[in-house]
Amino acid sequence: MNRKDIIRKSLIGFVGLVVLVVAGIRFYQHRHFKEQVVIGDQVKVKKLGNYFDGVKGTFNDCNIYFIEGTEPGATMMILGGSHPEEPAGRLTALVMVENARITKGRLIVVLSANRSATSVTRPSAAYPQLFTIPTAWGGQQFRMGDRWSNPLDQWPDPEVYIHYPGKQNLAYMDIRNLNRAWPGRANGTLTEKTTFAFMNLIKQEKVDVVIDLHEAELQYPVINTIVTHEKGQDLATMASMTLTDFEGFSIGTEFSPKNLHGLSHREIGDYSDAISLLLEAPEPFLDATRGITGAEQLLEGKDAFVVKAGKHGLLYAPIDDKGWPIATRVGRHTSTVLQIMQSWNEFHPEKELVCEGVPKYTELIAKGLGAFLIDPGSVAKGKVVFE
């Protein structure tokens, strides 16, 4: 190797090093970006690791927000971030933590059920790493995530994922899918340990109802619906009928298939006393026929290609040029959660859950999501926690 070769190789290597450093910094900053959550006087924060040592100190040792009323009543758990590429779930959970006032019963809220999956975006899908919700005080940034746990936390994947304890064969990458890993196991993968910890929480805190918040592509038939375990059929059906009649949007009910394993609406109901429900809102960002996957498309839900797919009858939910803005999707979730509470109270007057302050569908559409996020700079330091 002569001097010329050494100089050429050094130059090419240096350019590669610059690309490596720039990319590495961006990936590191995304993984460790701190989302801010403002907690009120009623909110107490615990960690998932309090319920199982196996997740203590891991990336999935997420915050658990307890909002407890002065009077006893039912306990409801809201799970956001099972699939962090479905941001309406996490944002609904945030709106509930920052706005809910509980007078009877107890609300347990999770923003990052699979925190590891909030730290990575879909390979080759050109997702935005961060997105901003506009607010009167300038805007609040959030991490965009993926459907699966970060390979940095759990890797490699097997050829076939065999669900425990159902023994059902599932797609290999779903070994990192939190909503295919219920009820989990103590000696399993990080994702299985995470659901195992949540199951401990549900049992120890005697949770009555678990609601798992999701979004779906419009080409997927399970959309704009409440998926319910058989224990929650009355509750889901009553909520669905009431919302469709009075709230200004239609929402259906689907029954959880008994032989489809690993999903929250099946396994939480089977392995605990809680009623398990799962809500799906529409997210055109996830559709296979979408256009550019930018933050604008993510938040406004507008996509000409998805609209065209609708004109060809390929969708299970309507879409037009107005799209599915994030406030509409979050509003569907908040109104559905509040209606489920209301229906629960009608079925269980002796054990009510009374919640105030959470904006509903019409209010969110009228004022925008940003109107219900609290400026972390306007509160005392101890009132801000990080996701």
Note the residues at the interface with another protein (CB under 8 A).
1, 5, 8-9, 12-13, 15-16, 19-20, 23-24, 27-28, 120, 151-152, 155-156, 185, 187-189
> CB of 27: closest distance to another protein in angstroms?
5
- Residue 182 or 344: the one with the smaller Cβ distance to another protein is 182
> CB of 296: closest distance to another protein in angstroms?
25
The residues near 15 (Cβ < 8 Å, ≥ 6 apart) are none
> CB of 136: closest distance to another protein in angstroms?
36
- Residue 13 or 72: the one with the smaller Cβ distance to another protein is 13
Rounded Cα gap, residues 33 and 178, in angstroms: 21
- Residue 163 or 214: the one with the smaller Cβ distance to another protein is 163
Q: Taking a C-beta distance cutoff of 8 angstroms, is the pair 152, 27 a contact?
A: no
> CB of 297: closest distance to another protein in angstroms?
23
- Residue 1 or 380: the one with the smaller Cβ distance to another protein is 1
> CB of 193: closest distance to another protein in angstroms?
10
Q: What counts of helices (H) and strands (E) characterise the chain? A: 9, 15
> CB of 15: closest distance to another protein in angstroms?
7
Rounded Cα gap, residues 81 and 59, in angstroms: 14
> CB of 369: closest distance to another protein in angstroms?
30
- Residue 26 or 322: the one with the smaller Cβ distance to another protein is 26
Residue carrying the six token digits 């997702």: 127
Q: How many CB atoms lie within 10 A of CB 69?
A: 19
Measure CA 113 to chain center: 7
DSSP H helical ranges for 60-182: 87-99
The 8-class DSSP code of residue 256 comes to P
Amino acid residing at 33 = F
Helix axes 326-347, 87-99, angle to 10 degrees: 60
- Residue 134 or 188: the one with the smaller Cβ distance to another protein is 188
Rounded Cα gap, residues 205 and 260, in angstroms: 27
Q: Taking a C-beta distance cutoff of 8 angstroms, is the pair 90, 80 a contact?
A: yes
- Residue 23 or 288: the one with the smaller Cβ distance to another protein is 23
